[in-house]
Structure 1
Amino acid sequence: MSASNSGTGHFLEMTISSVVLIVLMPIFIGIVGPKIGEDFEAVTAYFAKPVPAIVTALTLIITLLHFKSGVTTLIEDYVSSSSRKVWFTFTAVVSYLSIAIVIFTFIRIAL
């Protein structure tokens, strides 16, 4: 694969995730916003419902994937080649670990 194909794929990935986040963020804010300040039991009962849980988890997961893609671009552009692999690995671990925590949390709330 040539460099231009990689850049095009990355551009499409970032564009698609940006558009999806533009749609999801107002919905996410509408779902999460009213629950700020409520007690723990009310919030967990609310997020045990499928729609708030799915929208919130989807928003967080897509945000973390968008973060990973953006940080990868920053590393490619600004980090010296000797330490890139370490930073790529670190970014992937942090992103995927965060996604796993989001998924685990919503499964735990649902059960």
Structure 2
Amino acid sequence: MSDFRTPLRRVRGLGAGGGTEHFWQQRLTALANAVLITCFVILLLTLMNESYEGVRAAFANPFVGIIMALMVVSATIHMKLGMQIVIEDYIHGAAKLPLLILNIFFAIAVAAACLFAIVKMSFGV
């Protein structure tokens, strides 16, 4: 197997290999999303003809609220990682850093809004 590090990077212990953690995070969130979004679709199909009160009653079940919260967290992490790769690969120059920061804040805002809605539905606040 070839080594993609320069001699200076070998001495410092730096170089190729920094993307492995990102790669695995992307794959694990994709796997979690496959399971959690399947649960979400089943829940949607189950609650399709329910009234608002019926949907709130379903979300009052702690299992449903936890599964939906896990789905939101996993999906937003996956979204952030995917957009980070797109920004790093295709945006160059001064716009790169602000877009990476905006990506983080956007993911946090989406997750916070969704989690707020889930908590509101679950606890009837």
Q: Same fold (TM over 0.5)?
A: yes
Alignment of 1:1-111 (within 5 A): 2-111=14-123
Contact 2:72–2:114, Cα closer than 8 Å, also in 1: yes
Q: Unaligned stretches of 5+ in structure 2?
A: 1-12
**Alpha-carbon distance between aligned partners in 1 of 2:58 and 2:111, rounded to the nearest angstrom:** 21
| Count of equivalent residues | 111
- Aligned residues with identical type, % of pairs: 23
User: 1:37 Cα shift?
Assistant: 4.1
Provide the aligned C-alpha RMSD in A.
Answer: 1.7
* TM-score normalised according to structure 2 size: 0.79
Q: Unaligned stretches of 5+ in structure 1?
A: none
The structure-2 alpha-carbon separation of the partners of 1:82 and 1:100, relative to structure 1 and needing over 3 Å to count, comes to: same
Q: Which has the higher contact order (CA 8 A, sep 6+)?
A: 1
User: 1:64 Cα shift?
Assistant: 0.9
User: 1:19 Cα shift?
Assistant: 1.4
Relative to total residues, which structure has the larger helix share, 1 or 2?
1
User: 1:71 Cα shift?
Assistant: 0.2
Per the alignment, in what secondary structure is the counterpart of residue 17 of structure 2?
helix
